[in-house]
């Protein structure tokens, strides 16, 4: 059944791991009669968390699409992981939904996982409601959790409800929006509606007035009526609240016990009646910076926000219809790579269960299979429409490991499996490092990489081990050096002969040409690994024919790929070829390549060689209580503190740290802070290695070279 855009609601469930998102989703599906019984995490039979790895671990790793029918509407629900290592799943869900339902644990309050996802909510400007769950827990504290939410997320957080008797005996909710008391049966489900007790009327009325004022503030006509009559009718209140939520002017707060099915039906009713439809948030940002309005009449445009590979099915693509109506059999063009894809089947999804659909209209979320050339973050549109939705931007990696290669026979299978996982998960980056001679995995945290390893071993039956990655050092020089080298080889017939006289010196941007040489030709090479080689041909009088210039430069570049100190790439050098000798018969390109390579090596070692190491800029956000421990750990990592300050309720530490000191930092920080800290990192610059460390690195390299 196809729903029109106004009758769609797209919601994403967010919150710290263990707050009850998956159980809340089960209750939503049960309340809407989408399922006949509520699954549980303990019994491993939930609609969400249906993969083997999620069932085994007992928590969400992938975002799961579900849907529930409520009155005349379809509510698409995406359940997301609460662990920061899987933030990519949260980003993709927020990209295509219109309301964030943020679940808080009444026992634990606002936890770090919720604080972390809030940044993404703000980035996507997603309207939000809060649900304080587990109010039936013996240690539940609704009021403290509400105050923490206000402190963290601002005074726009306004309660709609509160539990009258939280704790183990919980069964009653005061609803200040409808000014009604809900009393639930022992087994949960549909409550009995009663009048609010007199003892609670003042509190409920005060909450009600705050909601009415917030609703009136977003519409002049409503504000005028509110001032004249002091209240709004139910229809006016609903419209005002819809505007306020859509504009992120308020964040309503509800309460429930998802495990006992108390309160979720009222929340679903609010989502259906008040929360924005795709039509209310109709603007889609396009890649060229323009805005496209969501409507069902224009050319078809689908945005693929997630892909997965399933056994016996192949590629499964999850999409949002951003414009038009998609129908089975449609042929659409991938505006990223110009390939044509046929949408053979369309499904609505409830976890692993899918129902075939003839069509889906603008704003809806759906699934299709066996797209050949389309990946996550790509757009499919009607031929000739040239529409491309702005792609999602994922966070940079925070951890890297090297993959210890298995047997040669398994390496090809391993790379195929890794590339398949990377196609599903854009936050997992695979790098084949030629310089380090290692295959590197870059991810969001240790758990992220461990889950990847688990999937490789369990699903693909390939043994994969992690090891410490090498550091991409660079080599350069600090002073000028001159030298020459003669390569001479005789073996019966024609031999090899080439003599090269070379000067090398450090290079910096804006450096003037050498004044003591006659420059015949200047070439500036931007090196693939960064930095430059500036090459001067200064031969006067024809001692070396100019035709050998390219061979000489090639010999230098070959040596720069594997520098003399540690075999690392060399950078930022200036080389002048100013003299030499050749032989009319025995000189050839190979002879001059060897000669230039050898004289470069000898000169390099005489020119104050310096090893450089990559330095990363990091920003660490943490609570006051753990700041001292984090600073102490940074001091052991040769860190240079750039500044300290505050950002919201976090303390912020800006620091520069050598990459060599960041191995497993993600796990260390989580341990030190009990998960209440986060960090971002990005490459900053190359800096000289300390002399004692340089000496050790060179010695280690020479020892390994002798043993090889």
Q: What is the pLDDT of residue 228?
A: 65
To which residue do tokens 């006659």 refer? 518
Q: What is the pLDDT of residue 575?
A: 97
Say how far apart CA 448 and CA 84 lie, in whole Å.
9
Instruction: Tell me the per-residue pLDDT of 334-373, one tens digit each, with 9 for 90 and over.
Output: 999 999 999 999 999 999 999 999 999 999 999 999 999 9
To which residue do tokens 């102490």 refer? 632
Q: Which of 322, 376, 314 is nearest to 345 (CA)?
A: 314
Say how far apart CA 67 and CA 318 lie, in whole Å.
13
Q: Assess if CATH 3.30.230.10 describes domain 475-607.
A: yes
Residue 405 Cα distances to 437, 460, 466, 623, 632, angstroms: 11, 15, 9, 40, 36
Is 234 exposed, middle or buried, given 0-12, 13-18 or 19+ CB atoms closer than 10 A? exposed
Tell me if 397 sits within 8 A of 363, measured CB to CB: no
Q: What is the pLDDT of residue 52?
A: 84
Q: What is the pLDDT of residue 226?
A: 67
Residue 561: other Cβ atoms inside 10 A: 15
Q: What is the pLDDT of residue 489?
A: 87
Kindly give the parts of the chain with pLDDT less than 50. Answer: none
To which residue do tokens 């020479």 refer? 702
Instruction: Could you please state the CATH topology (level 3) that the domain comprising 5-281 is classified under.
Output: Rossmann fold (3.40.50)
Say how far apart CA 378 and CA 380 lie, in whole Å.
7
Q: What is the pLDDT of residue 233?
A: 73
User: For the domain bounded by 612-693, which CATH number is listed?
Assistant: 3.30.70.240
CA 267 from centroid of its chain's CA atoms? 30
Say how far apart CA 77 and CA 10 lie, in whole Å.
6
Under DSSP, is residue 35 helix (H, G, I), strand (E, B) or coil?
Answer: coil
Backbone φ, ψ for residue 416 (5° rounding) = -65, -45
Backbone φ, ψ for residue 260 (5° rounding) = -105, 5
Say how far apart CA 539 and CA 541 lie, in whole Å.
7
Instruction: Could you please state the CATH topology (level 3) that the domain comprising 399-467 is classified under.
Output: Alpha-Beta Plaits (3.30.70)
Question: Which tokens go with 347?
Answer: 């499904």
Say how far apart CA 378 and CA 173 lie, in whole Å.
45
Q: What is the pLDDT of residue 216?
A: 84
Q: Which of 637, 605, 604 is nearest to 620 (CA)?
A: 637
Query: Residue 184: left (phi > 0), alpha (psi -120 to 50), or beta?
Result: beta
Tell me if 166 sits within 8 A of 135, measured CB to CB: yes
Say how far apart CA 589 and CA 435 lie, in whole Å.
26
Q: For the chain, give every domain's residue range.
A: 5-281, 284-381, 399-467, 475-607, 612-693
User: For the domain bounded by 284-381, which CATH number is listed?
Assistant: 2.40.30.10
Q: What is the pLDDT of residue 115?
A: 85
Q: Which of 472, 538, 474, 471 is nearest to 504 (CA)?
A: 538
Tell me if 66 sits within 8 A of 354, measured CB to CB: no
Under DSSP, is residue 259 helix (H, G, I), strand (E, B) or coil?
Answer: coil
Under DSSP, is residue 331 helix (H, G, I), strand (E, B) or coil?
Answer: strand
The half-sphere exposure of 693 on its side-chain side, counting CA atoms within 13 A, is 13
Q: Mind giving me the DSSP string for 635-649? A: HTTT-EEEEEEEETT
Query: Residue 381: left (phi > 0), alpha (psi -120 to 50), or beta?
Result: beta
Question: Which tokens go with 141?
Answer: 């504290």
**Sequence-separated (6 or more) residues with CB below 8 Å from residue 572:** 476, 506, 507, 508, 531, 532
| Full-model pTM | 0.89
CA 673 from centroid of its chain's CA atoms? 22
Count H helices, E strands: the chain?
A: 16, 38
**Sequence-separated (6 or more) residues with CB below 8 Å from residue 288:** 388
Listed in sequence order, the DSSP H helices in 11-140 are 21-31, 52-57, 87-96, 112-123
Tell me if 569 sits within 8 A of 532, measured CB to CB: no
The answer to whether domain 284-381 and domain 399-467 are alike in fold is: no
Say how far apart CA 502 and CA 599 lie, in whole Å.
7
Question: Which tokens go with 385?
Answer: 């429409």
Residue 517: other Cβ atoms inside 10 A: 16
Helix 198-216 vs helix 220-229: crossing angle, to nearest 10: 140
């Amino acid at each position: 059944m196809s729903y029109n855009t106004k009758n769609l609601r797209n919601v994403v469930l967010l919150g710290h791991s263990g707050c009850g998102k998956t159980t809340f989703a089960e209750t939503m599906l049960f309340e809407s009669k989408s399922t006949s019984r509520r699954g549980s995490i303990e019994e491993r039979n939930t609609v969400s968390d249906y993969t083997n790895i999620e069932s085994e671990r007992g928590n969400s790793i992938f975002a799961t699409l579900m849907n529930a029918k409520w009155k005349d509407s379809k509510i698409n629900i995406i359940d997301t992981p609460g662990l920061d290592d899987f933030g990519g799943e949260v980003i993709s869900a927020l990209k295509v939904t219109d309301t964030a339902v943020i679940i808080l644990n009444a026992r634990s309050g606002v936890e770090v996982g919720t604080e972390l996802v809030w940044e993404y909510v703000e980035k996507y400007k997603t309207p939000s409601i809060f649900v304080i769950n587990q109010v039936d827990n013996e240690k539940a504290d609704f009021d403290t959790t509400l105050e923490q939410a206000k402190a963290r997320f601002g005074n726009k957080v306004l309660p709609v409800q509160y539990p009258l008797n939280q704790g183990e005996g919980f069964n009653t909710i005061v609803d200040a929006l409808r000014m009604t008391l809900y009393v639930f049966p022992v087994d949960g489900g549909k409550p009995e509606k009663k009048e609010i007790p007199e003892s609670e009327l003042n509190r409920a009325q005060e909450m009600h007035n705050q909601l009415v004022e917030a609703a009136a503030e977003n519409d002049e006509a409503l504000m005028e009526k509110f001032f004249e009559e002091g209240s709004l009718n139910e229809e006016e209140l609903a419209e005002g609240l819809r505007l306020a939520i859509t504009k992120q002017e308020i964040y309503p707060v509800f309460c429930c016990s998802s495990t006992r099915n108390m309160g979720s039906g009222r929340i679903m009713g609010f989502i259906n009646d008040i929360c924005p439809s795709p039509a209310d948030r109709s603007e889609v940002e396009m890649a060229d910076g323009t805005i496209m309005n969501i409507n069902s009449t224009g050319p078809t445009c689908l945005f693929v926000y997630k892909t997965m590979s399933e056994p016996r099915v192949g590629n499964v693509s999850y999409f949002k219809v951003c414009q038009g109506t998609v129908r089975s059999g449609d042929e659409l063009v991938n505006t990223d790579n110009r390939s044509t894809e046929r949408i053979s089947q369309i499904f609505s999804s409830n976890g692993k269960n899918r129902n075939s659909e003839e069509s889906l209209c603008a704003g809806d979320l759906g699934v299709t299979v066996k797209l050949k050339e389309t990946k996550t973050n790509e757009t499919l549109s009607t031929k000739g429409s040239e529409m491309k939705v702005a792609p999602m931007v994922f966070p940079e990696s925070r951890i890297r490991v090297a993959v210890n290669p298995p047997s040669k026979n398994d390496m090809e299978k391993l790379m195929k499996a890794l590339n398949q996982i990377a196609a599903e998960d854009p936050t997992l980056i695979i790098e084949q490092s030629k310089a380090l001679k290692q295959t590197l995995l870059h991810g969001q945290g240790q758990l992220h990489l461990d889950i990847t390893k688990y999937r490789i071993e369990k699903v693909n039956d390939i043994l994969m081990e992690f090891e410490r990655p090498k550091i991409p050092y660079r080599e350069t020089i600090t002073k000028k050096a001159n030298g020459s080298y003669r390569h001479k080889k005789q073996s019966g017939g024609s031999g090899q002969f080439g003599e090269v006289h070379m000067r090398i010196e450090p290079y910096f941007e804006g450096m003037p040409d050498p004044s003591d040489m006659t420059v015949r030709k200047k070439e500036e090479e931007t090196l693939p690994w960064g930095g430059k080689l500036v090459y001067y041909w200064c031969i006067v009088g024809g001692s070396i024919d100019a035709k050998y210039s390219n061979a000489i430069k090639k010999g230098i570049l070959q040596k720069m790929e594997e520098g003399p100190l540690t075999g690392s790439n060399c950078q930022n050098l200036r080389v002048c070829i100013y003299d030499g000798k050749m032989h009319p018969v025995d000189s050839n390109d190979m002879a001059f390549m060897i000669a230039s390579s050898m004289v470069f090596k000898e000169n390099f070692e005489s020119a104050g060689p310096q090893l450089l190491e990559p330095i990363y800029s990091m920003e660490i956000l943490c609570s006051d209580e753990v700041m001292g421990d984090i600073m102490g750990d940074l001091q052991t990592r040769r860190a240079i503190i750039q500044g300290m300050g505050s950002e919201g309720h976090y303390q912020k530490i800006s620091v520069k740290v050598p990459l060599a000191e960041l191995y497993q930092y993600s796990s260390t920080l989580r341990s030190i802070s009990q998960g209440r800290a986060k960090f971002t990192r990005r490459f900053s610059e190359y800096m000289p290695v300390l002399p004692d460390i340089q000496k050790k690195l060179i010695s280690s390299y020479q020892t390994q070279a002798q043993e090889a």
